[in-house]
Structure 1
Amino acid sequence: MANGGFPFQMPMLTKNNYDNLSIKMKALLGAQDVWDIVEKGFNEQDEALLSQCVKETLRESRKRDKKALFLIYQSVDEDTFEKISNATTTKEAWDKLQTCNKGVEQVKKICLQTLRGNFERLFMEESESILDYFYRVLAVVNQLKRNGEDVDEVKVMEKILRTLNPSFDFIVTNIEENKDLKTMTIEQLMGSLQAVVHCWMRNKKE
């Protein structure tokens, strides 16, 4: 039985998936009947002052809390574990995890908004080569992907064709009439554009 005796695959926290992991962990902890103790916590008390019935309830709460804490530990890497390892209850560990990652998520959202704006403002400069413009577009696209954006290659190719400088209008028309972008890759589009430009330049020289 994998995962420390639990017969299921533990979701793992990454740099980009806190929101999704939070949803999965709430479901998993709920299925293990310990989410309420993560959400609300419990009050530690001195057993010497308690009745036998309350002692048993307290011990059960401690046991459920440790079970929930163990499950959370299984879903984080060593660096994140260090951030929450000094928590004395699962609620405290969960709150710390949320505080750390919500800040990261907010930064990521701001970064994505900036990158989307950069992508929308991309236009080929007059003196820029096809190859240089492709590399400039792909640099922004790769940054979007690294920040968790799902980038549609067809939209990227449409963006490139739409923003080439006007001297390439005839090339764009030729590609749009004879090529299906849905069956092409960005690399194939770049190759087609370069081939047409090379042919065009050679004809001009002749």
Structure 2
Amino acid sequence: MASETFVQLAIPCFDGHYDHWNMLMENFLRSKEYWHVVSEGITEPTDNATMTQAQRTELDGQWLKDLKAKNYLFQAIDRSILETILCKDTSKHIWDFMKKKYQGSARAKRQQLQALRTEFETLQMRSGESIIDYFSQTMAIMNKMRIHGDKTEDVTIVEKILRSMTPAFNFVVCSIEESHDIDELSIDKLQSSLLVHERKFNQQEKEEQALKASTENHLATRGDRGRGRSRGRGRGNYDRGNQHQHQHQH
């Protein structure tokens, strides 16, 4: 009873990733000695009347194996998929249907995954881009990759983000790498740390801009005053000069 339960649990269930399931299921059926009827099918003689008893026994054995193989396939494949299989006469019919329907889509998925991996590897944070936007973009690509079967671990994503930040974050990245075990650093924690530093950067930038504007205003005001005094002194000297010249003439 226990061994029967184990056998039931060992059946590889189709999870949408055809190539992986195909490999596991073929190996499973080979271990049960049913693979021949699944891959080759059953060849019945054209004239049953001329069959010997041994041939009849052999054929019955083939049909029994096919029945058991079908039973395993029924358990491995979801009902919603089984309902789309028009011909379920033999295990070979079911196997060929799965191959035709899902192997092509598996190839397309591999191509899409490769394109997403390239996009992920070449992704760089743009100058002026916020931490929130960069993390969102990175995780959007990663989630698409995972939908297509990618098994990239979080530590790889953390390392990717750290090495693709803008130069403004170089000091912060070094600080994080020195103070944290990268293998244990979660994506959320990394984002939180970088957000704290981003807020400091932004605050510092605002203060520097405010100081710069204040200094420029102060210098402009002093310049205006200086020009005003200079103009005043010029007019006074000019008026006194004219007055002196007028008295001399008289």
TM-score w.r.t. length of structure 1: 0.88
Superposition deviation, residue 49 in structure 1: 4.2
Superposition deviation, residue 110 in structure 1: 0.5
Q: 2:29 is aligned with what amino acid?
A: L
Taking only the aligned residue pairs, the percentage that are identical comes to 32
**Which residue number in structure 2 is paired with residue 78 of structure 1?**
79
Asked which structure has the greater RCO (Cα within 8 Å, sep 6+), the reply is: 1
**Which residue number in structure 2 is paired with residue 29 of structure 1?**
29
Shift of the 7–175 alpha-carbon distance from structure 1 to 2, 3 Å rule, reads closer
Superposition deviation, residue 166 in structure 1: 1.9
Contact 1:125 / 1:165 at 8 angstroms: preserved in 2? yes
> SS of the residue aligned with 1:8?
helix
TM-score w.r.t. length of structure 2: 0.73
Residues of 2 paired with 1:179 and 1:7: CA distance?
45
Q: 1:19 is aligned with what amino acid?
A: D
**Which residue number in structure 2 is paired with residue 175 of structure 1?**
176
Contact 1:119 / 1:141 at 8 angstroms: preserved in 2? yes
Pairing 1:63-74 to 2, within 5 Å after superposition: 63-74=64-75
Superposition deviation, residue 99 in structure 1: 1.9
Contact 1:12 / 1:75 at 8 angstroms: preserved in 2? yes
Structure 2, unaligned stretches of length 5 or more? 208-250
Superposition deviation, residue 157 in structure 1: 1.5
> SS of the residue aligned with 1:13?
coil
Count, aligned residues: 204
Contact 2:125 / 2:164 at 8 angstroms: preserved in 1? yes
Higher helix share: 2
Shift of the 176–53 alpha-carbon distance from structure 1 to 2, 3 Å rule, reads closer
Bigger shift: residues 72-81 or 39-48: 39-48
Task: Give yes or no for the alignment of 1:197 onto 2:192.
Answer: no
Residues of 2 paired with 1:69 and 1:174: CA distance?
59
Shift of the 187–70 alpha-carbon distance from structure 1 to 2, 3 Å rule, reads same
Structure 1, unaligned stretches of length 5 or more? none
Residues of 2 paired with 1:60 and 1:155: CA distance?
52
Higher-Rg member (1/2): 2
Superposition deviation, residue 180 in structure 1: 2.4
Q: Deviations over 1:20-64 (max 9, x none)?
A: 322322232223221121122221345334333322222221121
RMSD: 2.3
